[in-house]
Chain A
Amino acid sequence: MDAISQDLSPLWISLATSVTATAITMIAGIAAAAWRQRRTGPLSPIVDAIFLLPLVLPPTVVGFALLLLFGRNGPLGKLLLGVGATVVFSWPATVIAAAVVSFPLMYLTSRAALDQVDPHFLQAARTLGVTEWRIFRRVALPLAWPGVLAGTILSFARAMGEFGATLMVAGNIPGRTETIPIAIYFAVEADDLRAALRWSAAELGISFVLLAALYYWTHAAGRGRARWARI
Protein backbone atom coordinates (compact mmCIF):
# COMPACT_ATOMS: atom_id res chain seq x y z
CA MET A 1 0.00 0.00 0.00
CA ASP A 2 2.65 2.40 1.08
CA ALA A 3 4.72 1.52 -1.96
CA ILE A 4 1.81 2.34 -4.24
CA SER A 5 0.95 5.66 -2.65
CA GLN A 6 4.62 6.58 -2.68
CA ASP A 7 4.79 5.52 -6.29
CA LEU A 8 2.03 7.88 -7.35
CA SER A 9 3.23 10.93 -5.46
CA PRO A 10 4.89 12.54 -8.53
CA LEU A 11 1.50 12.50 -10.28
CA TRP A 12 -0.28 14.27 -7.44
CA ILE A 13 2.55 16.72 -6.96
CA SER A 14 2.63 17.49 -10.70
CA LEU A 15 -1.13 17.99 -10.86
CA ALA A 16 -1.29 20.13 -7.72
CA THR A 17 1.65 22.22 -8.88
CA SER A 18 0.29 22.71 -12.40
CA VAL A 19 -3.23 23.60 -11.25
CA THR A 20 -1.95 26.13 -8.72
CA ALA A 21 0.61 27.58 -11.11
CA THR A 22 -1.96 27.86 -13.91
CA ALA A 23 -4.41 29.66 -11.63
CA ILE A 24 -1.73 32.21 -10.73
CA THR A 25 -0.53 32.52 -14.32
CA MET A 26 -4.06 32.95 -15.62
CA ILE A 27 -4.82 35.90 -13.35
CA ALA A 28 -1.39 37.46 -13.77
CA GLY A 29 -1.33 36.86 -17.53
CA ILE A 30 -4.76 38.34 -18.19
CA ALA A 31 -4.06 41.29 -15.91
CA ALA A 32 -0.73 41.95 -17.60
CA ALA A 33 -2.27 41.65 -21.08
CA ALA A 34 -5.14 44.00 -20.23
CA TRP A 35 -2.78 46.49 -18.62
CA ARG A 36 -0.36 46.45 -21.56
CA GLN A 37 -3.23 46.84 -24.01
CA ARG A 38 -4.47 49.99 -22.32
CA ARG A 39 -1.21 51.67 -21.51
CA THR A 40 1.47 52.08 -24.08
CA GLY A 41 4.50 54.25 -23.59
CA PRO A 42 8.10 54.48 -24.61
CA LEU A 43 9.01 51.66 -22.22
CA SER A 44 6.38 49.24 -23.58
CA PRO A 45 8.77 47.16 -25.70
CA ILE A 46 11.03 46.71 -22.69
CA VAL A 47 8.14 45.59 -20.52
CA ASP A 48 7.09 43.15 -23.26
CA ALA A 49 10.59 41.79 -23.50
CA ILE A 50 10.74 41.23 -19.73
CA PHE A 51 7.37 39.45 -19.79
CA LEU A 52 8.58 37.13 -22.54
CA LEU A 53 12.03 36.41 -21.13
CA PRO A 54 11.04 33.15 -19.39
CA LEU A 55 9.97 31.81 -22.78
CA VAL A 56 13.27 32.40 -24.53
CA LEU A 57 15.68 31.81 -21.66
CA PRO A 58 16.77 28.26 -20.95
CA PRO A 59 14.81 26.98 -17.92
CA THR A 60 18.09 26.47 -16.09
CA VAL A 61 18.73 30.21 -16.32
CA VAL A 62 15.22 30.92 -15.02
CA GLY A 63 15.88 28.48 -12.18
CA PHE A 64 19.19 30.10 -11.42
CA ALA A 65 17.58 33.55 -11.33
CA LEU A 66 14.87 32.26 -9.00
CA LEU A 67 17.52 30.67 -6.80
CA LEU A 68 19.36 34.00 -6.56
CA LEU A 69 16.07 35.73 -5.78
CA PHE A 70 14.55 33.26 -3.33
CA GLY A 71 17.71 31.65 -1.93
CA ARG A 72 18.71 32.16 1.65
CA ASN A 73 20.89 35.10 0.68
CA GLY A 74 18.58 36.46 -2.03
CA PRO A 75 16.52 39.64 -1.51
CA LEU A 76 13.15 37.88 -1.51
CA GLY A 77 14.53 34.86 0.32
CA LYS A 78 15.78 37.07 3.16
CA LEU A 79 12.46 38.87 3.33
CA LEU A 80 10.54 35.59 3.57
CA LEU A 81 13.00 34.20 6.08
CA GLY A 82 12.05 37.13 8.28
CA VAL A 83 8.55 35.71 8.52
CA GLY A 84 9.88 32.21 8.95
CA ALA A 85 9.30 30.90 5.43
CA THR A 86 11.86 29.21 3.22
CA VAL A 87 10.95 28.80 -0.43
CA VAL A 88 13.89 26.87 -1.87
CA PHE A 89 13.40 23.08 -1.65
CA SER A 90 9.75 23.40 -0.74
CA TRP A 91 6.55 22.66 -2.66
CA PRO A 92 5.76 26.36 -3.28
CA ALA A 93 9.06 26.53 -5.17
CA THR A 94 7.69 24.08 -7.76
CA VAL A 95 4.66 26.37 -8.16
CA ILE A 96 6.81 29.49 -8.56
CA ALA A 97 9.02 27.83 -11.18
CA ALA A 98 6.04 26.48 -13.14
CA ALA A 99 4.17 29.81 -12.96
CA VAL A 100 7.15 31.84 -14.15
CA VAL A 101 7.91 29.64 -17.16
CA SER A 102 4.27 29.38 -18.24
CA PHE A 103 3.47 33.08 -17.78
CA PRO A 104 4.65 34.21 -21.25
CA LEU A 105 2.34 31.73 -22.97
CA MET A 106 -0.64 33.01 -21.02
CA TYR A 107 0.35 36.62 -21.58
CA LEU A 108 0.97 36.27 -25.33
CA THR A 109 -2.23 34.36 -26.04
CA SER A 110 -4.51 36.56 -23.94
CA ARG A 111 -2.89 39.65 -25.39
CA ALA A 112 -3.58 38.46 -28.93
CA ALA A 113 -7.13 37.48 -27.99
CA LEU A 114 -7.84 40.83 -26.36
CA ASP A 115 -6.34 42.71 -29.31
CA GLN A 116 -8.74 40.97 -31.63
CA VAL A 117 -11.85 42.13 -29.80
CA ASP A 118 -13.69 44.58 -32.02
CA PRO A 119 -13.26 48.01 -30.34
CA HIS A 120 -16.74 49.03 -31.50
CA PHE A 121 -18.27 46.76 -28.88
CA LEU A 122 -16.21 48.42 -26.18
CA GLN A 123 -17.12 51.90 -27.43
CA ALA A 124 -20.78 50.94 -27.54
CA ALA A 125 -20.55 49.82 -23.93
CA ARG A 126 -18.85 53.09 -22.99
CA THR A 127 -21.70 55.13 -24.50
CA LEU A 128 -23.95 53.31 -22.03
CA GLY A 129 -21.87 54.68 -19.16
CA VAL A 130 -20.58 51.36 -17.88
CA THR A 131 -17.37 51.34 -15.83
CA GLU A 132 -14.16 50.22 -17.55
CA TRP A 133 -13.82 47.26 -15.19
CA ARG A 134 -17.33 46.12 -16.03
CA ILE A 135 -16.69 46.53 -19.75
CA PHE A 136 -13.60 44.41 -19.42
CA ARG A 137 -15.38 41.74 -17.43
CA ARG A 138 -18.65 41.64 -19.36
CA VAL A 139 -17.59 42.49 -22.92
CA ALA A 140 -13.87 42.24 -23.65
CA LEU A 141 -13.06 39.14 -21.63
CA PRO A 142 -16.06 37.06 -22.85
CA LEU A 143 -15.22 37.97 -26.46
CA ALA A 144 -11.58 37.04 -25.94
CA TRP A 145 -12.46 33.94 -23.93
CA PRO A 146 -11.56 31.22 -26.47
CA GLY A 147 -8.08 32.67 -26.84
CA VAL A 148 -7.71 33.10 -23.09
CA LEU A 149 -8.77 29.50 -22.60
CA ALA A 150 -6.25 28.32 -25.18
CA GLY A 151 -3.57 30.23 -23.28
CA THR A 152 -4.66 28.60 -20.04
CA ILE A 153 -4.40 25.12 -21.51
CA LEU A 154 -0.99 25.89 -23.02
CA SER A 155 0.18 27.23 -19.66
CA PHE A 156 -1.05 24.13 -17.87
CA ALA A 157 0.74 21.89 -20.35
CA ARG A 158 3.92 23.91 -19.98
CA ALA A 159 3.64 23.75 -16.19
CA MET A 160 3.18 19.96 -16.33
CA GLY A 161 6.37 19.60 -18.37
CA GLU A 162 8.50 22.02 -16.37
CA PHE A 163 11.83 20.48 -15.35
CA GLY A 164 14.94 22.66 -15.45
CA ALA A 165 13.90 25.58 -13.29
CA THR A 166 12.02 23.28 -10.91
CA LEU A 167 15.01 21.05 -10.27
CA MET A 168 17.16 24.09 -9.56
CA VAL A 169 14.89 25.87 -7.13
CA ALA A 170 12.80 23.04 -5.67
CA GLY A 171 15.33 20.21 -5.77
CA ASN A 172 14.33 16.57 -5.82
CA ILE A 173 12.56 15.66 -2.59
CA PRO A 174 10.48 12.50 -3.08
CA GLY A 175 6.93 13.06 -1.89
CA ARG A 176 7.37 16.82 -1.69
CA THR A 177 8.93 18.37 -4.80
CA GLU A 178 9.46 15.35 -7.04
CA THR A 179 7.24 16.09 -10.06
CA ILE A 180 6.73 13.70 -12.98
CA PRO A 181 9.48 15.22 -15.17
CA ILE A 182 11.94 15.02 -12.27
CA ALA A 183 10.91 11.42 -11.59
CA ILE A 184 11.55 10.64 -15.27
CA TYR A 185 14.97 12.27 -15.23
CA PHE A 186 16.14 10.37 -12.18
CA ALA A 187 14.60 7.10 -13.37
CA VAL A 188 16.57 7.38 -16.62
CA GLU A 189 19.74 8.26 -14.69
CA ALA A 190 19.23 5.20 -12.50
CA ASP A 191 18.58 3.00 -15.54
CA ASP A 192 15.06 2.28 -14.27
CA LEU A 193 13.50 2.12 -17.71
CA ARG A 194 10.16 0.80 -16.50
CA ALA A 195 9.57 3.74 -14.19
CA ALA A 196 10.78 6.17 -16.87
CA LEU A 197 8.40 4.69 -19.42
CA ARG A 198 5.50 4.66 -16.98
CA TRP A 199 5.90 8.33 -16.13
CA SER A 200 6.53 9.29 -19.73
CA ALA A 201 3.29 7.56 -20.66
CA ALA A 202 1.51 9.53 -17.93
CA GLU A 203 2.90 12.83 -19.28
CA LEU A 204 1.99 11.81 -22.80
CA GLY A 205 -1.56 10.93 -21.77
CA ILE A 206 -2.15 14.16 -19.90
CA SER A 207 -0.64 16.29 -22.67
CA PHE A 208 -2.66 14.48 -25.31
CA VAL A 209 -5.92 15.09 -23.49
CA LEU A 210 -4.99 18.75 -23.02
CA LEU A 211 -4.11 19.29 -26.66
CA ALA A 212 -7.30 17.57 -27.76
CA ALA A 213 -9.21 19.88 -25.42
CA LEU A 214 -7.33 22.85 -26.86
CA TYR A 215 -8.27 21.83 -30.37
CA TYR A 216 -11.87 21.34 -29.34
CA TRP A 217 -12.08 24.76 -27.70
CA THR A 218 -10.40 26.71 -30.48
CA HIS A 219 -12.62 24.90 -32.94
CA ALA A 220 -15.70 25.77 -30.97
CA ALA A 221 -14.46 29.35 -30.69
CA GLY A 222 -16.69 30.75 -33.41
CA ARG A 223 -19.82 29.25 -31.90
CA GLY A 224 -18.78 30.29 -28.42
CA ARG A 225 -18.20 33.87 -29.43
CA ALA A 226 -21.55 34.13 -31.17
CA ARG A 227 -23.25 32.87 -28.03
CA TRP A 228 -21.37 35.23 -25.72
CA ALA A 229 -21.89 38.24 -27.93
CA ARG A 230 -25.64 38.06 -27.52
CA ILE A 231 -25.42 38.48 -23.79
Chain B
Amino acid sequence: MKRTSVVLWLVVAAILLSHPAVIPASPRNSRPGSAPASASEITVSAAISLKDALDEIGKEYEARHPGVEVVANYGGSGTLRNQIEQGAPVDAFFSASEKDMDALNAKGLIQPDTRRDIVANTLVLIVPADRDSGIHDFKDLASAQVKTIAIGEPATVPAGMYAQQAFAALGLTAAVHGKLVLAKDVRQALTYVATGNADAGVVYSTDARITSKVRVVATAPANSHDPIVYPAAVLKGAHDASAARALVEYLGAEDAKVIFQKYGFTLPPQ
Protein backbone atom coordinates (compact mmCIF):
# COMPACT_ATOMS: atom_id res chain seq x y z
CA MET B 1 0.00 0.00 0.00
CA LYS B 2 2.72 2.40 1.01
CA ARG B 3 4.88 1.21 -1.85
CA THR B 4 2.10 1.95 -4.32
CA SER B 5 1.80 5.54 -3.17
CA VAL B 6 5.55 5.97 -3.60
CA VAL B 7 5.21 4.65 -7.14
CA LEU B 8 2.34 7.03 -7.83
CA TRP B 9 4.31 10.00 -6.57
CA LEU B 10 7.18 9.01 -8.81
CA VAL B 11 4.84 8.96 -11.78
CA VAL B 12 3.41 12.38 -10.91
CA ALA B 13 6.90 13.81 -10.45
CA ALA B 14 8.06 12.35 -13.75
CA ILE B 15 5.07 13.78 -15.61
CA LEU B 16 5.59 17.20 -14.08
CA LEU B 17 9.30 17.22 -14.81
CA SER B 18 8.83 16.15 -18.39
CA HIS B 19 6.42 19.01 -18.98
CA PRO B 20 8.20 21.87 -20.68
CA ALA B 21 6.24 24.54 -18.84
CA VAL B 22 7.68 23.41 -15.52
CA ILE B 23 11.24 24.20 -16.50
CA PRO B 24 11.43 27.98 -16.48
CA ALA B 25 13.24 30.21 -18.93
CA SER B 26 14.71 27.72 -21.32
CA PRO B 27 17.57 29.42 -23.15
CA ARG B 28 15.93 28.59 -26.48
CA ASN B 29 13.06 30.94 -25.73
CA SER B 30 15.28 33.82 -24.76
CA ARG B 31 17.44 33.82 -27.87
CA PRO B 32 18.23 37.43 -28.67
CA GLY B 33 16.46 38.80 -31.68
CA SER B 34 13.69 36.27 -31.81
CA ALA B 35 11.66 37.66 -28.95
CA PRO B 36 10.07 40.74 -30.54
CA ALA B 37 9.65 39.66 -34.19
CA SER B 38 12.81 41.25 -35.56
CA ALA B 39 12.71 43.92 -38.23
CA SER B 40 12.12 41.42 -41.01
CA GLU B 41 11.37 37.81 -40.41
CA ILE B 42 10.07 36.04 -43.50
CA THR B 43 8.23 32.80 -42.89
CA VAL B 44 8.20 30.48 -45.89
CA SER B 45 6.08 27.35 -45.90
CA ALA B 46 7.96 25.09 -48.28
CA ALA B 47 7.67 21.55 -49.59
CA ILE B 48 10.01 19.35 -47.55
CA SER B 49 11.72 18.08 -50.70
CA LEU B 50 13.21 21.58 -50.99
CA LYS B 51 14.75 21.45 -47.52
CA ASP B 52 18.46 21.06 -48.20
CA ALA B 53 18.54 23.47 -51.12
CA LEU B 54 16.34 26.06 -49.44
CA ASP B 55 18.31 25.91 -46.17
CA GLU B 56 21.41 26.89 -48.10
CA ILE B 57 19.61 29.56 -50.12
CA GLY B 58 18.09 30.98 -46.96
CA LYS B 59 21.53 31.32 -45.33
CA GLU B 60 22.90 32.91 -48.45
CA TYR B 61 19.97 35.33 -48.56
CA GLU B 62 20.36 36.27 -44.89
CA ALA B 63 24.06 36.93 -45.45
CA ARG B 64 23.25 39.33 -48.27
CA HIS B 65 20.37 41.03 -46.50
CA PRO B 66 21.41 41.80 -42.93
CA GLY B 67 18.47 42.11 -40.59
CA VAL B 68 16.36 39.70 -42.59
CA GLU B 69 15.69 36.28 -41.15
CA VAL B 70 14.29 33.50 -43.33
CA VAL B 71 12.24 31.05 -41.30
CA ALA B 72 11.35 27.94 -43.26
CA ASN B 73 8.46 25.70 -42.28
CA TYR B 74 8.78 22.39 -44.09
CA GLY B 75 6.11 19.76 -44.65
CA GLY B 76 3.91 18.08 -47.20
CA SER B 77 2.56 20.74 -49.58
CA GLY B 78 -1.06 19.74 -48.86
CA THR B 79 -0.47 20.02 -45.12
CA LEU B 80 1.15 23.43 -45.55
CA ARG B 81 -1.68 24.59 -47.80
CA ASN B 82 -4.15 23.45 -45.17
CA GLN B 83 -2.31 25.40 -42.45
CA ILE B 84 -2.38 28.54 -44.61
CA GLU B 85 -6.11 28.11 -45.25
CA GLN B 86 -6.62 27.89 -41.49
CA GLY B 87 -4.87 31.23 -41.05
CA ALA B 88 -1.27 30.28 -40.23
CA PRO B 89 0.97 33.39 -40.19
CA VAL B 90 2.97 32.62 -43.32
CA ASP B 91 4.51 35.11 -45.77
CA ALA B 92 5.33 32.94 -48.77
CA PHE B 93 4.36 29.49 -50.04
CA PHE B 94 6.72 27.26 -52.04
CA SER B 95 4.77 24.19 -53.16
CA ALA B 96 5.78 20.92 -54.78
CA SER B 97 2.64 20.95 -56.88
CA GLU B 98 0.65 23.41 -58.94
CA LYS B 99 -2.50 21.87 -57.45
CA ASP B 100 -1.95 23.21 -53.94
CA MET B 101 -0.97 26.65 -55.23
CA ASP B 102 -4.07 26.69 -57.47
CA ALA B 103 -6.23 25.85 -54.46
CA LEU B 104 -4.84 28.81 -52.49
CA ASN B 105 -5.23 31.03 -55.52
CA ALA B 106 -8.87 30.00 -55.91
CA LYS B 107 -9.47 31.10 -52.32
CA GLY B 108 -7.79 34.43 -52.96
CA LEU B 109 -4.99 33.73 -50.49
CA ILE B 110 -1.97 34.45 -52.71
CA GLN B 111 -0.82 37.53 -54.57
CA PRO B 112 -1.20 36.14 -58.10
CA ASP B 113 1.29 38.52 -59.74
CA THR B 114 4.09 37.17 -57.51
CA ARG B 115 3.52 33.54 -58.49
CA ARG B 116 6.29 31.91 -60.52
CA ASP B 117 7.53 28.44 -61.29
CA ILE B 118 10.94 28.07 -59.65
CA VAL B 119 12.21 24.53 -60.24
CA ALA B 120 11.21 21.13 -61.62
CA ASN B 121 11.90 17.59 -60.47
CA THR B 122 11.62 13.95 -61.51
CA LEU B 123 10.10 10.94 -59.80
CA VAL B 124 12.20 7.85 -59.11
CA LEU B 125 11.79 4.35 -57.75
CA ILE B 126 14.21 3.58 -54.92
CA VAL B 127 15.21 0.46 -52.98
CA PRO B 128 17.42 -0.01 -49.89
CA ALA B 129 21.04 0.21 -51.06
CA ASP B 130 22.26 -2.75 -48.99
CA ARG B 131 19.88 -5.29 -50.46
CA ASP B 132 19.59 -6.97 -53.80
CA SER B 133 15.84 -6.88 -53.88
CA GLY B 134 15.36 -7.93 -57.49
CA ILE B 135 13.46 -4.70 -58.16
CA HIS B 136 14.74 -3.16 -61.35
CA ASP B 137 11.67 -1.41 -62.67
CA PHE B 138 8.23 -0.21 -61.65
CA LYS B 139 6.62 -3.38 -62.99
CA ASP B 140 8.63 -5.45 -60.48
CA LEU B 141 6.52 -3.88 -57.73
CA ALA B 142 3.79 -6.33 -58.68
CA SER B 143 5.98 -9.22 -57.48
CA ALA B 144 4.77 -11.03 -54.37
CA GLN B 145 8.22 -10.55 -52.84
CA VAL B 146 7.58 -6.82 -52.56
CA LYS B 147 5.59 -6.40 -49.37
CA THR B 148 5.75 -2.67 -48.65
CA ILE B 149 6.11 0.34 -50.94
CA ALA B 150 6.58 3.73 -49.30
CA ILE B 151 4.96 6.74 -50.95
CA GLY B 152 3.61 10.03 -49.62
CA GLU B 153 -0.04 10.18 -48.57
CA PRO B 154 -1.52 11.18 -51.97
CA ALA B 155 -4.06 13.63 -50.54
CA THR B 156 -1.43 15.85 -48.89
CA VAL B 157 1.93 14.89 -50.36
CA PRO B 158 2.44 15.81 -54.02
CA ALA B 159 5.13 13.13 -54.45
CA GLY B 160 2.52 10.58 -53.36
CA MET B 161 0.00 12.01 -55.79
CA TYR B 162 2.51 11.82 -58.65
CA ALA B 163 3.43 8.27 -57.61
CA GLN B 164 -0.22 7.24 -57.67
CA GLN B 165 -0.64 8.79 -61.12
CA ALA B 166 2.42 6.89 -62.32
CA PHE B 167 1.08 3.60 -60.91
CA ALA B 168 -2.19 4.21 -62.74
CA ALA B 169 -0.45 5.09 -66.00
CA LEU B 170 1.71 1.96 -65.77
CA GLY B 171 -1.30 -0.23 -64.96
CA LEU B 172 -0.01 -1.08 -61.47
CA THR B 173 -2.75 0.36 -59.26
CA ALA B 174 -4.29 -3.02 -58.43
CA ALA B 175 -0.91 -4.72 -58.06
CA VAL B 176 0.37 -2.27 -55.45
CA HIS B 177 -2.91 -2.06 -53.56
CA GLY B 178 -2.41 -3.09 -49.93
CA LYS B 179 1.37 -2.65 -50.17
CA LEU B 180 1.47 1.14 -49.95
CA VAL B 181 2.76 2.64 -46.72
CA LEU B 182 1.54 6.23 -46.76
CA ALA B 183 4.04 8.68 -45.31
CA LYS B 184 3.21 12.14 -44.00
CA ASP B 185 5.76 13.69 -46.33
CA VAL B 186 8.17 12.56 -49.02
CA ARG B 187 11.18 12.57 -46.69
CA GLN B 188 9.45 10.11 -44.39
CA ALA B 189 8.91 7.81 -47.38
CA LEU B 190 12.62 8.17 -48.09
CA THR B 191 13.47 7.24 -44.49
CA TYR B 192 11.24 4.17 -44.64
CA VAL B 193 13.34 2.87 -47.52
CA ALA B 194 16.69 4.12 -46.19
CA THR B 195 16.18 2.18 -42.94
CA GLY B 196 15.29 -0.91 -44.95
CA ASN B 197 11.84 -1.16 -43.41
CA ALA B 198 10.07 -0.65 -46.73
CA ASP B 199 11.06 -2.78 -49.74
CA ALA B 200 10.77 0.09 -52.20
CA GLY B 201 9.63 3.68 -52.40
CA VAL B 202 8.76 6.44 -54.82
CA VAL B 203 10.37 9.82 -54.12
CA TYR B 204 11.88 12.71 -56.05
CA SER B 205 15.30 12.21 -57.62
CA THR B 206 16.55 15.07 -55.44
CA ASP B 207 15.51 13.20 -52.27
CA ALA B 208 17.26 10.02 -53.37
CA ARG B 209 20.50 11.99 -53.75
CA ILE B 210 20.75 13.05 -50.11
CA THR B 211 21.40 9.57 -48.74
CA SER B 212 23.66 6.72 -49.79
CA LYS B 213 21.34 4.23 -48.12
CA VAL B 214 18.98 4.08 -51.08
CA ARG B 215 19.57 3.15 -54.69
CA VAL B 216 17.61 4.56 -57.63
CA VAL B 217 16.48 1.72 -59.89
CA ALA B 218 14.10 3.50 -62.26
CA THR B 219 12.76 6.88 -63.24
CA ALA B 220 9.04 7.34 -63.83
CA PRO B 221 8.31 8.33 -67.44
CA ALA B 222 7.60 12.06 -67.58
CA ASN B 223 4.25 11.43 -69.27
CA SER B 224 3.09 9.04 -66.54
CA HIS B 225 2.27 11.88 -64.13
CA ASP B 226 1.55 15.62 -64.02
CA PRO B 227 4.61 17.81 -64.58
CA ILE B 228 6.50 18.17 -61.28
CA VAL B 229 6.89 21.91 -61.01
CA TYR B 230 7.46 23.94 -57.83
CA PRO B 231 5.64 27.28 -57.83
CA ALA B 232 6.27 29.98 -55.21
CA ALA B 233 4.14 33.00 -54.34
CA VAL B 234 3.73 35.71 -51.72
CA LEU B 235 0.62 35.31 -49.60
CA LYS B 236 -2.07 37.94 -49.18
CA GLY B 237 -1.61 37.83 -45.43
CA ALA B 238 2.16 38.48 -45.54
CA HIS B 239 3.10 40.82 -42.70
CA ASP B 240 5.93 42.36 -44.74
CA ALA B 241 4.88 41.91 -48.36
CA SER B 242 7.83 43.72 -49.91
CA ALA B 243 10.39 41.61 -48.03
CA ALA B 244 8.52 38.44 -49.02
CA ARG B 245 8.33 39.63 -52.61
CA ALA B 246 12.09 40.21 -52.70
CA LEU B 247 12.73 36.70 -51.38
CA VAL B 248 10.45 35.04 -53.94
CA GLU B 249 12.17 37.01 -56.69
CA TYR B 250 15.53 35.86 -55.38
CA LEU B 251 14.36 32.23 -55.55
CA GLY B 252 13.92 32.64 -59.29
CA ALA B 253 17.20 34.51 -59.78
CA GLU B 254 20.46 33.13 -61.10
CA ASP B 255 22.25 32.74 -57.75
CA ALA B 256 19.48 30.60 -56.33
CA LYS B 257 19.25 28.54 -59.52
CA VAL B 258 22.87 27.51 -59.13
CA ILE B 259 22.15 26.15 -55.64
CA PHE B 260 18.96 24.39 -56.73
CA GLN B 261 20.84 22.72 -59.58
CA LYS B 262 23.58 21.66 -57.18
CA TYR B 263 20.92 19.66 -55.33
CA GLY B 264 19.66 18.08 -58.54
CA PHE B 265 16.64 20.25 -59.33
CA THR B 266 16.04 21.16 -62.95
CA LEU B 267 14.58 24.30 -64.43
CA PRO B 268 10.87 24.42 -65.16
CA PRO B 269 9.72 24.49 -68.79
CA GLN B 270 9.24 28.08 -69.88
**A binding-site residues for B, Cβ under 8 Å:** 40, 45, 48-49, 52, 55-56, 67, 71-73, 86, 88-89, 108, 111-112, 115-116, 171-176, 186, 189-192
User: Which residues of chain A are near B76, meaning CB under 8 Å?
Assistant: 189
Contact of B181 among A71, A89, A111, A192 (CB under 8 A): A89
Q: Does B148 have its Cβ within 8 Å of any Cβ on chain A?
A: yes
Residue of A nearest to B154 (CB): A190
| Bound-complex Cα distance A89 to B188 (A) | 13
Which residues 171-219 of B sit at the A interface, judged by CB distance below 8 A? 178-184, 192, 195-198
Do most interface residues of chain A lie in helix, strand or loop, or is the interface mixed?
Answer: loop
Residue of A nearest to B181 (CB): A171
Q: Does B85 have its Cβ within 8 Å of any Cβ on chain A?
A: yes
Of B11-19, B115-123, B231-239, the segment with at least 4 beta carbons within 8 Å of chain A is: B11-19
Query: How many Å from the CB of A118 to the closest CB on chain B?
Result: 11
Do most interface residues of chain B lie in helix, strand or loop, or is the interface mixed?
Answer: mixed
**Interchain Cβ contacts under 8 Å between A and B, 20 examples:** A52-B10, A67-B197, A88-B197, A89-B148, A89-B181, A89-B197, A115-B3, A115-B4, A172-B153, A172-B181, A174-B180, A186-B156, A186-B182, A186-B184, A189-B82, A189-B153, A189-B156, A189-B184, A190-B155, A191-B85
Contact B178 A175 (CB under 8 A): yes
Query: How many Å from the CB of A188 to the closest CB on chain B?
Result: 8
User: Which residues of chain B are near A72, meaning CB under 8 Å?
Assistant: 195-197
User: Which residues of chain B are near A71, meaning CB under 8 Å?
Assistant: 195-197
Known: A48-B7, A56-B18, A111-B7. A190 touches B78 (CB 8 A): yes
Query: How many Å from the CB of A134 to the closest CB on chain B?
Result: 24
Contact B147 A86 (CB under 8 A): yes
Q: Does B40 have its Cβ within 8 Å of any Cβ on chain A?
A: no
Known: A56-B14, A115-B1, A172-B182. A73 touches B196 (CB 8 A): yes
Q: Does B79 have its Cβ within 8 Å of any Cβ on chain A?
A: yes
User: Which residues of chain B are near A49, meaning CB under 8 Å?
Assistant: 10
Query: How many Å from the CB of B122 to the closest CB on chain A?
Result: 25
The number of residues on chain B lying at the interface, defined by a beta carbon within 8 Å of a beta carbon of chain A, is: 33
User: Which residues of chain A are near B3, meaning CB under 8 Å?
Assistant: 40, 115
Contact of A186 among B11, B147, B155 (CB under 8 A): B155
Contact of B79 among A52, A56, A67, A189 (CB under 8 A): A189
Residue of B nearest to A73 (CB): B196
User: Which residues of chain B are near A88, meaning CB under 8 Å?
Assistant: 197
**Max chain A C-beta neighbours (<10 A), residue from B4, B184, B198:** B4
**Max chain A C-beta neighbours (<10 A), residue from B3, B7, B78:** B7
| Bound-complex Cα distance A86 to B195 (A) | 13
User: Which residues of chain B are near A48, meaning CB under 8 Å?
Assistant: 7, 10
Contact A172 B183 (CB under 8 A): yes
Residue of A nearest to B196 (CB): A72
Query: How many Å from the CB of A138 to the closest CB on chain B?
Result: 22
Contact A116 B197 (CB under 8 A): no
Query: How many Å from the CB of A91 to the closest CB on chain B?
Result: 12
Q: Which 5 pairs show the lowest CB-CB distances between chains A and B?
A: A190-B155, A72-B196, A171-B181, A88-B197, A56-B14
Query: How many Å from the CB of B212 to the closest CB on chain A?
Result: 15
Contact A174 B78 (CB under 8 A): no
Residue of B nearest to A191 (CB): B82
Contact B82 A56 (CB under 8 A): no
| Bound-complex Cα distance A43 to B209 (A) | 49
| Bound-complex Cα distance A171 to B179 (A) | 11
Contact A55 B178 (CB under 8 A): no
